[in-house]
Structure 1
C-alpha cells in the first residue's frame, strides 16, 4: 500500500482497499456499486459513514438503555460511554448553552460527537478511511450545526428578532446609526457563515494532514534502496506507531472541539448579546 502516491489513501474512491500480504500490490481492491434508483456511485467514505452510523446505533442505544434501567452503571465499557455522555452534557452543553435548556440540544451534540469520533477512529484501521479527512463531509456537518444554530435562534427570538439581535447595540447618533447598522448587520451575517466554514475546515485539515503524514512516513520504506532500507524501515515503522498513538488522541480531541464549538454557537444564538 505504501507504494502508491500517499495522497491516494486520503482521498475518496469508488472502491475499498483491503490490505493483503502477498505481492505485487499487497492489497485487494473491492469495487463499489452504484446506489440503486438514483444511480450515484457509492464511495468508500460513504461506506465508512454508514459503518459509523451503524456502530452508533449498535453501541449507544444499548448503553442508554443500560444507564436508564439502573441506578449504578456496571461494567467498564458502559461506564466509559456514560462518562463521555455525561461529560458532553455537564462540561460542554450546559456551560456553553446555559442551564437545563441545553438538554434540548443534547441529542444533536451527542450525535455529532460520536459520529465525528467514530469516523476519525475508522481511519486508524488498515484498509479503512476517515471521512472527516474530506472537506465535503466536514462541510455537511458544519451545515447541520448552522441549521441547528439558526433554528435555535429563530425559535428563541423569532425570525426578525434573531437577525436583528445579531447586531450589538450601537450608541451613536441616529443619523450615523442609519449608515452603521446595515454595515454591522452584513458583517455579523458574514461572520456567522465564516465561523461555520472554519468549523468545517478545522476538522478536515487536522484529520487530512495527520493521515498524509502517516502515509508519507510509511512510504519512505519503499523509497529506500540497498543497505539504507534496513535503517529506514525500523525508523519509519517506529515513527508511524508513535504518530498513530498521537492520532488516537487527535481523533478524540477533534470530536470534542467540533462539539464544543457547536455548543458555543448554539449558546450564542439562544443568548444573543
Structure 2
C-alpha cells in the first residue's frame, strides 16, 4: 500500500496501479499494483479505457434492443441514451456530412462519442482516471478520425481524385500553376494533419486542465494547518462540488465537440470544395 503523493499532478498522470480511496489508513490509500501481460505494463488509464468499452458493450446493445421492442421508449435511462443517439445522428452526422449518406459513418461517430464520454465521466469517479486527459489516448482517437477521413475521401473520389482534389482550383496563368499547385498541395496536406493534431490537443488539454484544477483545490485541504483548516476545508469542498458539476458538463461538451469536428472533417473529405 504505497503512500499518497501530495503533488496535484500525481492525481492526473497515469499509474501502474489502481487506487481505492474508500479503503485507507491515516497516511495512505490502498493501491493495487497492476500486472505486466506479455511484457506490457497495465496502467490505470488502460483499465478505465477497458471499463469504458465494456460499458458501451453492455449498455448500448440493451438500449437498442429496448428501442426496437417498443415504439415509445419508457424510462429515463433508455430515453437518455436514445436522445444522445438521435442527437448525434440528426444534429451532428447528417448536417456535417450530408443527408442519409452520413448514416454509414454513424457507427464510428456513435462509438467515438460514447467512448470519449464514458472516459470523461470515469475521471470523476473516486479511484478512477480520465484516459482522455492523456495526449497518447487523444492522439490515437484523432489518428483514427484522420484514417476515416482519408479512406472516406479516397472511396468517394478515388485515390488520385482525392489527393488531386485536395488543392482548390487555381485561377492563375498556366506557367504559374505547377509551382503554385505543388506549394498548395503541401499546405493543404499540412493543414489536414494540423487539424487532427489540434483535435487531439483540444480534448487532452481540456480534460487534463480540469482535473489539475480539481486536484489543486483538494490539495489546499492537505496544506491547511491549525485554525484555518476548517474554513479552508469547507471552501475547498464547496468549490470541488461546483467544479465537479462543471466538469460533468465539460465531459459531455468535449465528447460532442470531438465527434462534431470528426463529422465535419469527414464531410469535407466526401464533399470537397
Q: TM-score range by the shorter chain?
A: over 0.9
Name the counterpart of 1:194.
194
Name the counterpart of 2:6.
4
Q: CA deviation at 1:71?
A: 1.6
Q: Which runs of 4+ in 1 moved over 2 A?
A: 20-26
Give the TM-score, by structure 1 length: 0.97
Name the counterpart of 1:54.
54
Question: Residue 115 and residue 97 in structure 1: after superposition, are their counterparts in 2 closer, same or farther (change >3 A)?
Answer: same
Question: Residue 264 and residue 248 in structure 1: after superposition, are their counterparts in 2 closer, same or farther (change >3 A)?
Answer: same
Confirm or deny: 8 A CA contact 2:4 2:28 kept in the other structure: no
What is the alpha-carbon distance in structure 2 between the residues aligned to residue 89 and residue 6 of structure 1? 39
Confirm or deny: 8 A CA contact 2:4 2:29 kept in the other structure: no
Q: How does 1:83-232 map to 2 (within 5 A)?
A: 83-232=83-232
Aligned residues: 271
Name the counterpart of 2:32.
30
What 5-or-longer segments of structure 1 have no aligned partner? none
Give the TM-score, by structure 2 length: 0.97
What is the alpha-carbon distance in structure 2 between the residues aligned to residue 23 and residue 219 of structure 1? 18
What is the alpha-carbon distance in structure 2 between the residues aligned to residue 44 and residue 75 of structure 1? 33
Q: Deviations over 1:205-235 (max 9, x none)?
A: 0000000000000000111111111211100
Report the secondary structure of 2:32's partner residue. Answer: strand
Confirm or deny: 8 A CA contact 1:20 1:26 kept in the other structure: no
RMSD: 1.2
Confirm or deny: 8 A CA contact 1:2 1:219 kept in the other structure: no
Report the secondary structure of 1:232's partner residue. Answer: helix
Q: Larger deviation: 65-74 or 124-133? A: 65-74
What 5-or-longer segments of structure 2 have no aligned partner? none
What is the alpha-carbon distance in structure 1 between the residues aligned to residue 27 and residue 82 of structure 2? 43
